[in-house]
Amino acid sequence: MSFFGYLLLFFIGFFAFLVISSRNPVHSVLSLISVFLFSSILLFCLDVEFLALSFVIIYVGAIAILFLFVVMMLDIKIGDSSFDFLKSNALTFFLSFIFFLEIMLPIFHLNSHAILNVESFPFISWIGEIDSFTNIQAIGQLLYTYYFVFFLMCGFILFIAVIGALMLTLTLNKSVKVI
């Protein structure tokens, strides 16, 4: 794995830590969106385009935005932002240390070139041999030709859901001063 891959893994771990350590729920959801986006970039680098785009569409486009709508609709008040690690339980520190060792020991003690070198495995790119379309082009061709009615119906249902969420959060103030 290249330096760019390790950099992406670092950002994924950093934003994942921000998801659980942030006191503000909106910041936590935005960090979760960053984790999903960096994960999809990593999947693009590994030539898994369909899985990367499904991460962006399903997780960022639907689930994380749903979390953001729920957090904004609940209007959660943010409490004390000071978080003291020394007041936490000693068992939490011990389990976190064990978890960190479980992740880091295989990286540093094993021969990373023998495990992470994908080019050493012989394989045939059947996609290039059979059809010149990629997965994304084939799905797009099916979606926009044969299943375009279902695609439009899904878009309309999501549009109505967004309008419903906006109407639930709308507050009408009837005591407006007219000058």
Predicted confidence pLDDT, tens digits, the chain (179 residues): 678 888 888 899 899 988 888 878 888 888 989 999 999 999 888 878 888 888 888 888 888 888 877 877 776 666 555 555 556 667 777 877 888 887 777 667 655 555 555 555 566 666 556 667 777 787 888 888 888 888 899 889 988 988 887 787 777 766 666 67
Q: In this structure, what are the phi and psi dihedrals at residue 80, rounded to the nearest 5 degrees?
A: -65, 130
Question: Is 58 part of a structural domain of the chain?
Answer: yes
Place of tokens 């693009």: 44
Closest CA to 71 of 21, 34, 24: 24
104 and 177 fall within a common domain = no
- One-letter identity of residue 79: G
DSSP structure string for 54-94: HIIIIIIIIIIHHHHHHHHHHTPPP------GGGS-HHHHH
35 and 111 share one domain: yes
User: Which range marks the domain in which residue 164 is found?
Assistant: 140-179
59 and 94 co-located in one domain: yes
Nearest to 15 by CA among 1, 34, 2, 29: 34
Predicted TM-score (pTM) of the model is: 0.54
Q: Are residues 115 and 148 in the same domain?
A: no
* Same-domain check for residues 20 and 97: yes
Are 116 and 149 found together in one domain? Answer: no
100 in the same domain as 17: yes
